[in-house]
Every structure is written in C-alpha cells, then in structure tokens.
Structure 1
Amino acid sequence: MSLIDLSLSGLSEPGTKLIEKISDAIGVLYEPTRIRKKAKAEAEAKRTELISRLELEGIEKRAVERFLKRETKRQENIENITMQAAQSLSESDNVSDIDEDWIEAFFRECEDISDEQMQMLWGRILSEEAKSKGSFSRRTLKLLSTISKEEANLITYFGKFVWQANSLQFYLPMRMEILKV
C-alpha cells in the first residue's frame, strides 16, 4: 500500500519525473485515483476493525481517533502540495535530483498547511527546488511554515518595494502604521 497516492494522468513529463523522484526519496508510490478511493474505503474499514479489536476505552480510543484524523489530514495536505508542484512544471522544465534530507524537511514543514493558497505557495517552492536544486534552504522552509497566509501576502506585497541598483539596495521603511490596512 502506498503512502502517497496520486493520479499521474495529465501531468507533464517533468511533473511525473518530480513525483517519481519524491517517491524514490521518501519511499512513496503513486497510483491512479481509482485505486486510492478503494484503498481509502478499505483503510476506513480496517481502522474501525482495529480500534474495536484493541478494546480501547475512553481517552485511549479518543487519542487513537485524533491521531488517525490528524495524520489523514496531513497526508491529504502533502498530496495536494505535491500535485500542485507537479502540475506547475512544464514540458520544457528540467527536473534535477532533490536532496532526500531536503524533501524530508519540506514535507515535515508543510504537512499542516491546509489553506489552498498556501498549498499553492508550497507547491511552487517544491517545483522550483525540483528545477534548481538548492533554491530554498531548510531554514527558509522553517520560516515559511511559521507564517500565516496574511503575513505571506504582506511579504509579497512589500517585496515589490525593494529594489537593487548595482550594489545598493533600497527598502521601503517598515513602520507598524504601514502594516495596518
């Protein structure tokens, strides 16, 4: 049974290659969506059976349910972000090898990102890293995992007001009054 399950139909060759590289790095297989739906139904039945066989009561049962719910959501987030990355690659993109440690760090930092716009951002980061190894440091991933959607929008907005001429850099002064929109 695979850990990540996505349909590869309709993806560009670089998108498929990215998914295969991620699969090689973290031991994940990608299968068609039909198989994923069947596996999800089977997993739900097995989960219910397992919980009843464990004879859990009260807090233990709730803890197992919470754990399964959280990990299922994380898996959905990872698959959505991976698909965003694969879909954003064009036929002309050359996908490079991605460092396995970087991939592990990437998924650790983005697994709790459920906002669609933020998943698109994380997908772009993954696709850019696939095109050019070393584009994003692990420290950058850590920083991005801590900012909100609103903060990401502010960074994007104020990034327009930073420019460089020769070796001089110019910045818009950052005062808190400016941030109050």
Structure 2
Amino acid sequence: MGTTDIVQAMVSPIEKLIETVSGAIGKIYEPRHVRKMAEAKAYELKIIADAVRNNKDLPVVYNTNGFSIDTSRDEEIAKRASHRLVFQECIKQQNIEAVVDRAYEELSGEESVSSDPVSQDWMFRFFNSIEDVSNEKIQEIWAHILAGEIRLPNTYNYRTLECLRHITQQEVDVFRRVLSLTLQSSGAYFIVADNELLNKYNVYFSDVLKLEECGLMNAQNLSLTLATTVEQKSYIFNSKYIGLIKGEKQDVSKIELSVFTFTGSGIQLMNAIQTECPEQYLFDYLQIIADRNKDFSITVHKINSINEDGSINYNNDICFMTDKK
C-alpha cells in the first residue's frame, strides 16, 4: 500500500461520527457546544410536535406558551397517555445525544480513523440500546463503544451490545474490580482461580458467578498450560508488568495454571471500561507459581509499550524476582 492509499484509508473522526450518526437518526447531528439556546428550543418543540402528530385523533393547540393538547373532549386516560409518550420520547432523545456528545469529545483530539463505514444495522441496534440509559457512568461506557466503533468498525459485535444493554451500575462496578486483576498469557485473558489471592484484592467467587450471569466471564475453572525450556520462555503480563518464566532444563517443562476466563463480550468491554491494576498483584501470583513449581526461574520487568500486533517492549532491568524455597 502506497502513501496515497494510506491517506485515503483514513478520515477525520469527527466528520465520520457526524455522518454515521446522521445516517442512523435521519438528521444532521450537531455537537452540544454548537447548539444555541434558540436551536435547542426549536429542537424540543419539533420532538413534541412530531410526537403529537403521531396521535392524529388528538386536537393540537399552539399559542405563545408553546404546544399543548386540548383534551377537554377526550377521556382523561388519553391525556395521560399522550403526556407519557411525549415525555418518554424526549428522555430517549436526550439519552442518545448525551452518549453521542461524549463520543464526540473523545474523538475530538484524534486526527484520523479508518474510513471503513460503520454498519447501519449496528447503529440502529446501538441507538435502541442507549435510548433508555440515563445513568451517566454507563453512558460513558456506551460513548467509548461508539468512539471505538468509529475508529475501527466491527470492534464491538451485537452480542456485546446486548450484554451491556442489560448490565446495571452495580454489575459494572463488580466488572471493574475484577478487570483490575486481569492477566494475559498465550492469547488468553483471565484471572487466577485462587480464592485466597483473589480475596486479598477484594474479588470473590460470587463476583465471578455474577459476571457469568451477565455473559462476561466463565465461572468454570479452566487449565492453562505454559511450556518452557532453557531457551523458550513463557509470559504472563498485565498492563504494567510482564513476568518471564523460563525452564532450567533442556527438556520441555510445563506449568498448569487454574484460571477463570473472560467471554468474547467481556474481552471487548475491557477496552471501554477504565481500571487500574494493583501493582503487587502480579508479583504475588508469580511467587505462588514459583512455590508450586520447581525448576523454573521467574523475573518481572516493566512494560514500555504493547504494540498493535501484540508484541511487548519491556525494560531489561529486573524489578522483581521470585524466591526459591
């Protein structure tokens, strides 16, 4: 691919966001900071008018105080139903725009994203999912997902949208705590299936069971095998540190790890939920591995960067070495 092709493959993230959102909601999207008060009022009246027009049997009255519905000749139930409809649609629109505005702010500092279009079906499902979400913290997660899909379409699948749609704030808090203990090795994302160590860092098996109900984790213990020799190393790492495990024999030596893994939706949501990993956690786990397995040397190094292809650049200086008993 030449330089010209690369340039053509990237577009402005803000322009792509506005175009994508407008294509899904049927109007030109304008970010909050450029909508003037008069425009906002006109926008509100339009929502009310559109909702009223859908109830053609109800007489509409407009005066200096705005739109109203003359229900003097109608039953009281029709009046309450109409008010409920207008109120609910206004709230849904506010929720949608709150998420889009947050995504706009997230993308505003970026220069370019993939030019691949976001599926219109995906956008329809996305808006159907967020229209009933008023919780600001969960709106922030949805905004990260929209921004991520604008950057690179197909980052989040329908199953992930459906999982998040049914998650409560309490469950998000549990997920965030569990995510702080996430480790990676051999392409797997997991937390250790060691109750004593998990409890030390305020994570419990009941949390794993709850996240399994949400479709984010597997509560069944799985075995992860690491194979090493004198020349072949295995790796366990989080966002800050990488543990290098090396066998001390020429023959292949194996370590069996008992772990709880994340589902595909759980892995996708990791990128949308911010968390901090406890610095000592990986050190503690590697020491447990060293205590249970002989003929291995384990060192820990600071990660400098993790590349898009998954390769890791780390500092050669040893910041932790397991004790041999």
TM-score range, shorter chain: 0.7 to 0.9
Q: CA RMSD in A?
A: 2.7
1:67, distance to aligned residue in structure 2 (A):
1.0
The 3-state SS of whatever aligns with 2:95 is helix
**Partner residue, 2:16:** 17
Query: Cα offset for 1:77?
Result: 0.2
The answer to which structure has the higher helix fraction is 1
Q: Which residue of 1 aligns with 2:312?
A: none
In structure 1, C-alpha distance between the alignment counterparts of 2:101 and 2:207, rounded to whole Å? 39
Q: CA deviation at 1:175?
A: 1.5
Return the alpha-carbon distance in structure 2 between the equivalents of residues 21 and 148 of structure 1. Answer: 28
Change (3 A) 1:23 1:74: same
Quick check: 1:110–1:122 contact (8 Å CA) kept in 2?
yes
Of residues 30, 33, 36, the one that matches 2:35 is 33
1:79-98 to 2 correspondences below 5 Å = 79-89=97-107, 90-96=109-115, 97-98=117-118
The answer to whether the Cα contact below 8 Å between 1:161 and 1:171 also exists between their aligned partners in 2 is yes
**Paired position in structure 1 for 2:89:** 71
**How many angstroms does 1:44 deviate by?**
5.4
Aligned counterparts of 1:53 and 1:167: Cα–Cα separation in 2: 63
Counting matched residue pairs gives: 167
C-alpha distance in 2 between matches for 1:51 and 1:161: 56
Write the letter of the residue equivalent to 1:58.
Answer: E
Task: String of CA shifts for 1:21-73, please: whole Å, max 9, x gaps.
Answer: 21123322235522122332576589562621794321111011111111110
Shift of 1:138: 1.0
Residue from 45, 57, 64 that aligns with 2:75 = 57
TM-score, structure 2 normalization = 0.46
Distance of aligned partners of 1:64 and 1:130 in 2 relative to their CA distance in 1, 3 Å threshold: same
**What residue number does 2:242 align with?**
none
Structure 1 distance, partners of 2:93, 2:83, is: 15
Higher strand share: 2
What per-residue deviation string (whole Å, max 9, x for no partner) do you get for residues 107-151 of structure 1? Answer: 001111101111111111000011010011111111101011121
**2:125 corresponds to:** 105
CA distance in 2, matches of 1:55, 1:29: 38
Do the aligned partners of residues 95 and 22 (structure 1) sit closer, same or farther apart at CA in structure 2, a change above 3 Å counting? farther
Aligned to 1:129: 149
* 1:175 matched residue in structure 2: 205
Task: Kindly indicate whether the alpha-carbon contact (under 8 Å) linking 1:17 and 1:95 is maintained by their aligned counterparts in 2.
Answer: no
> How far 1:88 sits from its partner (Å)?
0.3
1:171 aligns to what SS in structure 2? strand
Q: Is the 8 A contact 1:15 1:86 kept in 2?
A: yes
Change (3 A) 1:175 1:71: same
Moved more, 118-127 or 155-164: 155-164
Amino acid at match of 1:37: K
Structure number with the bigger relative contact order (C-alpha 8 A, sep ≥ 6) is 1
Q: Distance in 2 between matches of 1:62 and 1:56?
A: 11
**Aligned to 2:69, what secondary structure does the other structure show?**
helix
Shift of 1:177: 7.6
Partner of residue 153 from structure 1, selected from 165, 173, 177: 173
User: Runs of 5+ in structure 2 lacking a partner?
Assistant: 1-11, 53-59, 62-67, 194-203, 210-325
- Preserved contact between residue 81 and residue 119 of structure 1 (Cα < 8 Å): yes
Letter of the 1:118 partner, please give it. Answer: I
Once structures 1 and 2 are overlaid, which stretch shifts more, 88-97 or 168-177?
Answer: 168-177
Aligned to 1:4: none
| Cα distance in 2, alignment partners of residues 72 and 150 from structure 1 | 26
Identity of aligned residues (%): 31
Helix, strand or coil at the partner of 1:164: strand
